[in-house]
Amino acid sequence: MEFNLADLFEAVVDTVPTAEALVWGSDARPLRRASYAELDVRANRLAHLLARLGIGRDDHVGLHLHNGPEFVEAMLACYKLRAVPVNVNYRYVAEELDHLVRDAELRVVVTEPDLSGALDRLRGRSSPLDAIVEVGPGLDRVMAGESPERPDVGPRSADDRYLLYTGGTTGPPKGVVWRHEDIYFAALGGQGTPTRGVPPLTEAGQIVERVRRGDPIMRRMPLCPLIHGGGMWIALQTLLTGGALVLDTSRHFSAPTAVALLSDERVELTMLIGDATARPIADELAVDRDRDVPRYDLSPLQVLASGGAVLSDSVVGQLRELLPATKIVDTFGASESGSQGRLRAGEGTPPRLLTDEHTAVLDDEFLPVAPGQVGRLARSGHVPLGYHGDAARTATTFPVVDGVRWSVPGDLARLEPDGTITVLGRGSTSINTGGEKVFPEEVEKVLKGHPAVFDALVVGVPDERYGQQVALRDTTGGHDVPDDDELEAHVRAHLAGYKVPRRWVRVTRCERLPTGKPDYRWAREVAVGAPAPPQ
């Protein structure tokens, strides 16, 4: 057996067929459950259906789905056929879908009845789509007639493809192509977790021993979309260790619903995306603490992990007070690099990345920088093959230097004397003000450390004197609104003067992408359209 995701999953099924694999539901629908054997049969039936639609090795199938068992079944069905599932953002409109369908060369898209309208509008546009499959009772009846046995596709390979589309913060979405073995070791648990007594795997057959022994964290719940890399990785990590994957199928995030599910299902690890999710959860837990009879019991929760967006020190402090036995982890990674480590917060300073020997900071010549210097964050070892259909961008982001392949997505970072790395943010969003570089994430983190700032985005807008001028929009979470002078003094206490915002644009909500990442395009439009400050 090779490090192939379908092979690994089926090995888990054969080891613990009756164990609980999936739990799903919402505040509007009762919870349902499926064992590993039941999930395997559902995925097998769907695989046979997809095969009858012409899907086979290396064919691309879009998953245009909300969180739910259908996403997991379709993903596994594709891997079983040696096909390639592709995450499709369910918030995209027809024009965006048209681009992704063509760019990803999708042959079939699995979708939901209330999402299919945008896909239907693609018909007649010379779309590469062969079929649109709608989940629901109709599909269930069709699948009931398909074989429950695993499809016979011959030996699978560690070289089978994993494809993750990433929208980033600017530009059209692009597909990151991985080998199964590489993504498994980069993000799905193959690297092990030595701090929790889980050693790295050296051969695929050891996964059976790991499942029999039991991973220290067995019940996991992503509080982010499965179309997001972090959510998908948590799902696969869970299913490849014999754990139970708990899914909130609500169409809109609700902190009371999420916390209730965490409590009722005795979840041991949850994954969320920065303050946008963490702060409402902390507020809900604070309300529960003050009740005469608390509703929630999160004592089983061992790890609360965050990734993909800023997790501010103030929220971390609140969570640690409310969940003293839970480890709060701020993780760092990217679609192009996998999981790169965790961030260690510093009071009023940018977070520092604690990582391994495969991560480095490189200069423009792809040489390691000296301590104190800024370069681009890079990773070697298990990294992607490149971007789907984009050789030029692949050569830039995944250069081969002296026989070593690097992933260099574009994050700027500074190597510190102690070997840690200060992550400064993407160069594409950096602000040039009077010749000085300002990194938005650095300023945002400081701003969100103010108790009255609920969320903040920082962008650059044109300025005759400085070239670009720092602009901010923020919301408050039930606190008194601080005036501009108070916010300026707060930032100035932690950062150099040229990093202090010169315009303060207040909004009721900071828009974010479906992945939880900042929507800097929206922020820039708001900043440019705001009234100019008095001279």
- Together in a domain, 225 and 352: no
Q: Name the residue among 300, 235, 318, 290 with its Cα closest to residue 261.
A: 300
Give Dmax (Cα) for the chain: 74
The length of the chain is 535
The CATH number of the domain where 146 resides is what? 3.40.50.12780
pLDDT for the residue 401: 92
Q: Is residue 309 in a domain?
A: no
pTM of the model: 0.83
- Together in a domain, 174 and 200: yes
Q: Which tens digits make up the pLDDT trace of 347-404?
A: 556 678 887 889 999 999 899 999 999 999 999 999 999 999 999 999 999 999 999 9
| Rounded mean pLDDT, 398-412 | 92
Assess whether pLDDT exceeds 90 at residue 484: no
- Give the DSSP letter string of 195-254: GGTBPPPSSTTHHHHHHHH--S--EEEESS-TTSHHHHHHHHHHHTTT-EEEEE--SS--
| Residue whose tokens read 């929507």 | 519
- Together in a domain, 236 and 88: yes
**Which of helix, strand or coil describes residue 130?**
coil
- Together in a domain, 122 and 215: yes
Q: Is residue 310 in a domain?
A: no
Give the range of the structural domain holding residue 438, as residue numbers without chain letter: 430-529
**Which of helix, strand or coil describes residue 467?**
strand
Q: Tell me the pLDDT of the chain averaged across its residues.
A: 88
Q: Is residue 535 in a domain?
A: no
- Together in a domain, 348 and 420: yes
- Together in a domain, 445 and 479: yes
> Could you tell me if 344 and 358 are in contact, meaning their C-beta atoms sit under 8 angstroms apart?
no
Number of domains in the chain: 3
3-state secondary structure 281-325: HHHHHHHHHCCCCCCCCCCCCCEEEECCCCCCHHHHHHHHHHCCC
pLDDT for the residue 436: 61
Q: Which tens digits make up the pLDDT trace of 413-471?
A: 999 998 889 887 766 676 766 556 677 877 888 888 888 888 888 888 776 545 555 55
pLDDT for the residue 442: 77
Q: Is residue 301 in a domain?
A: no
- Together in a domain, 374 and 475: no
The CATH number of the domain where 380 resides is what? 2.30.38.10
Query: Which pLDDT band holds residue 169 (cuts at 50, 70, 90)?
Result: very low
Q: In percent, how much of the chain has pLDDT > 90?
A: 56
Domain boundary among 225, 252, 279: 252
Tell the burial category of 320 from Cβ atoms under 10 Å away from its Cβ (0-12, 13-18, 19+): middle
- Together in a domain, 419 and 516: no
- Together in a domain, 224 and 343: no
Q: Is residue 295 in a domain?
A: no
- What is the dihedral sign for C-alpha 11, 15, 18, 23? negative
> Could you tell me if 320 and 298 are in contact, meaning their C-beta atoms sit under 8 angstroms apart?
no
- Together in a domain, 237 and 379: no
The CATH number of the domain where 460 resides is what? 3.30.300.30
Q: Which tens digits make up the pLDDT trace of 173-223?
A: 899 999 999 999 999 988 877 666 677 888 888 999 989 988 888 999 999
> Could you tell me if 163 and 104 are in contact, meaning their C-beta atoms sit under 8 angstroms apart?
yes
Domain boundary among 365, 400, 426: 426
Q: Is residue 263 in a domain?
A: no
The residues near 268 (Cβ < 8 Å, ≥ 6 apart) are 217, 218, 219, 220, 300, 301, 302, 303
Q: Name the residue among 243, 227, 245, 222 with its Cα closest to residue 307.
A: 222
Q: Is residue 314 in a domain?
A: no
| Rounded mean pLDDT, 26-43 | 93
Q: Is residue 27 in a domain?
A: yes
- Together in a domain, 113 and 163: yes
Distance from C-alpha of 526 to C-alpha of 505, rounded to nearest angstrom: 8
Domain boundary among 252, 285, 308: 252
- Together in a domain, 348 and 363: yes
